[in-house]
A and B are shown apart, each in its own frame.
Chain A
Amino acid sequence: NAGVTQTPKFRILKIGQSMTLQCAQDMNHNYMYWYRQDPGMGLKLIYYSVGAGITDKGEVPNGYNVSRSTTEDFPLRLELAAPSQTSVYFCASSYSGSQPQHFGDGTRLSIL
């Protein structure tokens, strides 16, 4: 059982480039989340989704976009990478808002 799978694990981007961080879960969870974690800091919610076709902004959505065309996948898109987006990005999923979220191993993104 793979759980939550994030790809890539590491990536270096140049300022202004774009990329998509992939997240897939095989637990049939309706709820999926994207967080960023800066060094030595806590988790900040970027976007979340409560089901296919439904997405909502978290506390730090600027500079990011998401889509949820299937239950399994929840990609995060950076359109114009900026140095402030250098961070570790975590995807998580859960059955509901009041159930444990299961996290992936993260994508470490550096923008230079």
Chain B
Amino acid sequence: GESVGLHLPTLSVQEGDNSIINCAYSNSASDYFIWYKQESGKGPQFIIDIRSNMDKRQGQRVTVLLNKTVKHLSLQIAATQPGDSAVYFCAENLQGAQKLVFGQGTRLTINP
């Protein structure tokens, strides 16, 4: 989950397909996780969050899955639309910490 200064990985999907964006987080003591969407020229926008006492949480067209055993977080977007094209960031909060640690981000491109 640490930002390591690498260029963003990319994911391309066809419009209407489901997409899955993955994130490996760094600290087994993290107890809060969050996904952000960042469109070009804008600030990150909150999508969905999950706490460590849950494995799955659903929102509107989005689902977040948490696998604490392998320290893995995923964001599933159903029936992708052109407006879903953006960079998606995961972030974790170490229990009791005052800040989030952001992942490097994934650029999602929706093909017509």
Residues of A within 8 A of B (CB): 4, 31, 33, 40-45, 48, 50, 56, 58-59, 90, 92, 96-98, 100-106
Contacts and interface: CB of A to CB of B under 8 A. Distances in A.
B43 A100 contact: no
A98 B93 CA distance: 6
Interface string B13-38: 00000000000000000011010100
B3 A97 contact: no
Size bracket of the B interface: 20 to 34
B10 to A, nearest CB: 10
B8 A48 contact: no
Contacts of A104: 43
A98 B31 contact: yes
A58 to B, nearest CB: 7
Given A41-B8, A48-B99, A58-B99, 12 more contacts: A41-B3, A41-B105, A42-B3, A42-B8, A42-B105, A43-B44, A48-B98, A92-B43, A96-B98, A97-B93, A100-B34, A105-B42
Contact of A100 (B6, B8, B49, B103): B49
Contacts of A41: 3, 5-8, 104-105
Interface of B: 3, 5-8, 31-32, 34, 36, 42-46, 49, 89, 93, 96-100, 102-105
B99 A103 contact: no
Nearest to A44: B3
B43 A103 contact: yes
Contacts of B42: 105-106
B23 to A, nearest CB: 12
Contacts of B46: 100-102
A106 B42 CA distance: 7
